[in-house]
Amino acid sequence: MKILLSADDIQRRVAEMAQQIADDYRGQSVTIVGVLTGCLMFLADLVRHLDLPLRIGLLQASSYRGATTTPGLLRVQLELLPDLRGRHVLLLDDILDTGQTLAYLNRHLQTLDVASLRIAVLLRKEGRQQVPLHVDYRGFDIPDAFVVGYGLDYNDEYRHLPYVAVLNL
């Protein structure tokens, strides 16, 4: 595998993103809604840098299953979400690929009477987005390649890697 983003580069950028998020939410409590399972590393590192009153909620959404590298049918499980009415919400995901998943989640969360909703992604694949979607915080733009590490997986492997690498299939 070719390392695309080193662990040090990721940690540096996550700290920068946390500072920007903290500045934007200053004086407000925020609920971070993480998209399982890929967001876990990003979520954990980000919240350690945030000096804000915050809550964490999780939901599961997946369009990649098993040993596939192309998105399939979107499955969403919202059972773990806390009550978000009146809350400032930051939707957090590991990667913006086609945009289908985040656009769906954005629309759904808007129906829950939230005070505000922003979106943060660690990675955005260049040239892949099919759905118009504004992302408020973006860590890195990456080429259109299948990547693993730092929470991203292939067939539930490689999530534990501290870096992001291009998987050669």
C-alpha 72/C-alpha 43 separation (Å) is 25
Is residue 97 annotated as part of the catalytic site, yes or no? yes
Residue in 93, 94, 97, 153 annotated catalytic: 97
Q: Is 166 exposed, middle or buried (0-12, 13-18, 19+ CB in 10 A)?
A: middle
Is residue 94 within 8 Å of 76, Cβ to Cβ?
no
Torsion 129-130-133-134 (CA) sign: positive
Supply the residues annotated as catalytic.
97
